[in-house]
Amino acid sequence: MRPVLAATLLFALSALTLILLRPLMPVDETRYLAAAWEMHAGGSPWVPHLNRAIYGHKPPLLFWLINLVWASSASMRLRP
């Protein structure tokens, strides 16, 4: 029984440490929103750009879906 308890405590301590060391906002999410915003603000609707350079690290479907949500009437109701 003691080895199971020790392993459980070690796992819980490791998980807590990893959770506390995780950054508050991942860099990738801000990058994706910035690329989608550039598409929305007047960039190319087909090719995502980040800081006016082509952002080809992700397929454009994610950015198209973000822009689709921004363009929907339901998202307009959420604005103050």
Q: What is the pLDDT of residues 16-46, one digit of tens each?
A: 888 888 766 677 888 988 999 999 888 788 9
Give the pLDDT of residue 10.
Answer: 93
Can you give the length of the chain in residues? Answer: 80
Residue 1 pLDDT > 90: no
Task: Look up the domain containing 58 and give its range.
Answer: 2-77
Q: How far is residue 30's CA from residue 73's CA, in Å, rounded to a whole number?
A: 24
Mean pLDDT of the chain: 84
Cα–Cα separations (whole angstroms), residue 17 to 20, 45, 80: 5, 42, 39
Per the structure, the count of domains in the chain is 1
Give the pLDDT of residue 38.
Answer: 93
Residue 60 pLDDT level (bands cut at 50, 70, 90)? very high
